Structure 1
Amino acid sequence: MQLSIVIPLLNEEESLPELYNWIVSVMQSNSYSYEIIFIDDGSTDESWDTISNLALKDPAVKGIKFNRNYGKSQALHAGFLAAKGDVVITMDADLQDNPDEIPELYDLIKKENYDLISGWKKKRYDSVLSKNLPSKLFNAAARKTSGVKLHDFNCGLKAYNKRVIKNIDVYGEMHRYIPVLAKNAGFVKIGEKEVKHQARKYGKTKFGMERFINGFLDLISIWFLSKFGKRPMHLFGALGVLMFFFGFIAAIWIGLSKLYKMYHSQPNILVTDNPWFYIALILMVIGTQFFLAGFLGELILRSKREKERYLISKTTGIN
């Protein structure tokens, strides 16, 4: 199979029929063999009924319905597991992503051997203050921290070689950083294509300003995991030893100072009256805790087991 179109969604019943017809038109005009995988992330409207009806009339349509809302990353994870195409395209269900971009994205993966192509919505139809400006700041921070030179990490329209989506783990809210996850997994041929952005036609956005706060927190997480995720002792152990060392040196200095004053018959000042006593104590205690945190991290890393991260209530067309 040439193409898998993976579409996570939440309460998009109005846009689904139009999106489906648009995608099918593009697929047929290019003679692609394809599948369309809709992942219903706990919708409370009639989205699942719409997907089920589409699947009844078209075997290329497949659906996964979550038991509740788990988030876009979990939806993509489920879609990636189900995808069978050589090239996987992800897009949003709100009609703001343009299916006419798919042939060029497909060619970049298959003919130019890219591992991943990320869309860049250079011209946007969102509010400047609520989305455009925060998005620019977020993307600038992501480029600087990750080293992946993309203009638009948040764009839902992306194309992947099948090897990429089968070898990365999208979890938490890391869907924004799939290019970074791909790079960390060794897929370095990552490109970007300017794509058309369209104004929302139905409903309202499911994301607020909190996504940028969460995005920056996730950026810190992925930076840490990429550097120390496989070796937590290298960070926590090093910090722990360093802090304990300085605390220990301070404690020795306090002890020698006390002995010196006793030897020279100077006023008998209690060790606890010296503020350095508390500084040394705190450094040694925190240093020990950091070291233990690194040690426990190593133990957890070696004994962790995969756990189910979402509960699927229904599927249609999935083998």
Structure 2
Amino acid sequence: MNLSIVIPLLNEQESLPELHQWIVKVMTTHNYSYEILFIDDGSTDDSWNIIDGLSKENPNVKGIRFLRNYGKSQALHAGFARANGDVIITMDADLQDSPDEIPDLYNMVINQDYDLVSGWKKKRYDSVVSKNLPSKLFNWAARKTSDVQLNDFNCGLKAYKNIVIKNIEVSGEMHRYIPVLAKNAGFGKIGEKVVQHQARKYGESKFGMSRFINGFLDLITIWFLSRYGKRPMHLFGAFGVLMFLIGFISTALIIIFKLVKLYSGYQTILVTNNPLFYIALTTMIIGTQLFLAGFLGEIILRTKSNEERYKISKEV
């Protein structure tokens, strides 16, 4: 099979028939063998009934429905697990991503041997204040932190080799950082293509300003996981050693000052009256806690089980 098109969605009943028709037109024109995977992330409108109807009309359409809203990352995870195509295309269901971009993305993966190709919405039709400026800041921070040189991390229109999506774990809210996850997994040939961005035709955006705050928090998380996810003791242990070193030096100074005063015949003061005592005590406690955090991280890493992250109510 040439293509698997994975489409996560939430309350997009108006756009689904048009999107399906558009994708089928592109697939037929280029004679692709394909499957369309609609992942209904707990919609409360008529989206699932439309997906069910499309699957009966077109045997290439498949659908997965979550019991409730679990988030885009979980929807992509479910879609990736069931995708069978040589190339997997992800796109949003709101008609802002153009299916006409699919052939070029497919050719870049197949003919130019890219592991992953990310879309770049260079010209956007979103609000400058609420989306464009925060998005530019977010993408700049992501480039600096991850060393993956993409202009638009958050573009939903992407193409992947099958082997890539089968070897990365998309969890939490990490869908924004799939290129970083792919790089960390060893897939280093990552490309970018300028794609057409269209104004939203139906409904309203499901994402607000909070997604950028969450995005920056996730960026810190993925920075930590990419460097210390497999060796947490290296980070916590290093800070623990630093705290113990400060505590040891403070303790040594306390002893030296006390011995000097005793030798000089001065009346000694209580150790607890010396500020260095509290520095030594505090840093020793913090150092111990950091070591314990590192040990607990190592234990959890070696004993964690793959817990169920979402529940599926229906499939077609």
Q: AA paired with 1:235?
A: L
* Equivalent position of 2:117 in the other structure: 117
Q: Following the alignment from structure 2 to structure 1, what is the Cα–Cα distance between the partners of residues 51 and 188? A: 35
Tell me by how many angstroms 1:268 deviates.
2.8
Tell me by how many angstroms 1:269 deviates.
1.2
Tell me by how many angstroms 1:267 deviates.
2.6
* Equivalent position of 2:285 in the other structure: 285
Residue 163 in 1 paired to residue 190 in 2? no
Please say if residues 233 and 291 of structure 1, whose CA atoms lie closer than 8 Å, have aligned partners that are also in contact: yes
Instruction: Single out whichever of 240-249 and 224-233 deviates more from structure 2.
Output: 240-249
- 1:157-190 CA deviation, whole Å, 9 max, x = no partner? 0000001000000000000000000000000110
Q: Following the alignment from structure 2 to structure 1, what is the Cα–Cα distance between the partners of residues 49 and 314? A: 11
Q: Following the alignment from structure 1 to structure 2, what is the Cα–Cα distance between the partners of residues 215 and 110? A: 31
- 1:122-181 CA deviation, whole Å, 9 max, x = no partner? 000000000000000000000111111000000000000001000000000000000000
* Equivalent position of 1:213 in the other structure: 213
Q: Following the alignment from structure 2 to structure 1, what is the Cα–Cα distance between the partners of residues 154 and 193? A: 13
How many pairs align?
316
> Helix, strand or coil for the counterpart of 2:96?
coil
State how 1:61-140 maps to structure 2 within 5 Å.
61-140=61-140
Q: Following the alignment from structure 1 to structure 2, what is the Cα–Cα distance between the partners of residues 296 and 125? A: 47
* Equivalent position of 1:142 in the other structure: 142
* Equivalent position of 2:252 in the other structure: 252
Extract structure 1 runs of 4+ deviating beyond 2 A: 262-265
Q: Following the alignment from structure 1 to structure 2, what is the Cα–Cα distance between the partners of residues 315 and 186? A: 33
- 1:180-208 CA deviation, whole Å, 9 max, x = no partner? 00000000110000000000000000000
Q: Following the alignment from structure 1 to structure 2, what is the Cα–Cα distance between the partners of residues 205 and 186? A: 34
For structure 2, the residue ranges without an aligned partner over 5 or more in a row are: none
* Equivalent position of 1:15 in the other structure: 15
* Equivalent position of 2:178 in the other structure: 178
For structure 1, the residue ranges without an aligned partner over 5 or more in a row are: none
Tell me by how many angstroms 1:252 deviates.
1.9
State how 1:184-199 maps to structure 2 within 5 Å.
184-199=184-199
> Helix, strand or coil for the counterpart of 1:150?
coil
State the percentage of identical aligned residues.
73
What is the root-mean-square deviation of aligned Cα atoms in Å? 0.7
Tell me by how many angstroms 1:264 deviates.
2.5
Q: Following the alignment from structure 2 to structure 1, what is the Cα–Cα distance between the partners of residues 191 and 130? A: 27
> Helix, strand or coil for the counterpart of 2:234?
helix
Tell me by how many angstroms 1:60 deviates.
0.4
Please say if residues 241 and 288 of structure 1, whose CA atoms lie closer than 8 Å, have aligned partners that are also in contact: no
- 1:18-70 CA deviation, whole Å, 9 max, x = no partner? 00000000000111000000000000000000000101111100000001100
Tell me by how many angstroms 1:254 deviates.
0.5
Q: Following the alignment from structure 2 to structure 1, what is the Cα–Cα distance between the partners of residues 41 and 265? A: 77
> Helix, strand or coil for the counterpart of 2:64?
strand
* Equivalent position of 1:56 in the other structure: 56
> Helix, strand or coil for the counterpart of 1:239?
helix
Tell me by how many angstroms 1:256 deviates.
2.4
TM-score (norm 1): 0.98
Q: Following the alignment from structure 2 to structure 1, what is the Cα–Cα distance between the partners of residues 175 and 229? A: 18
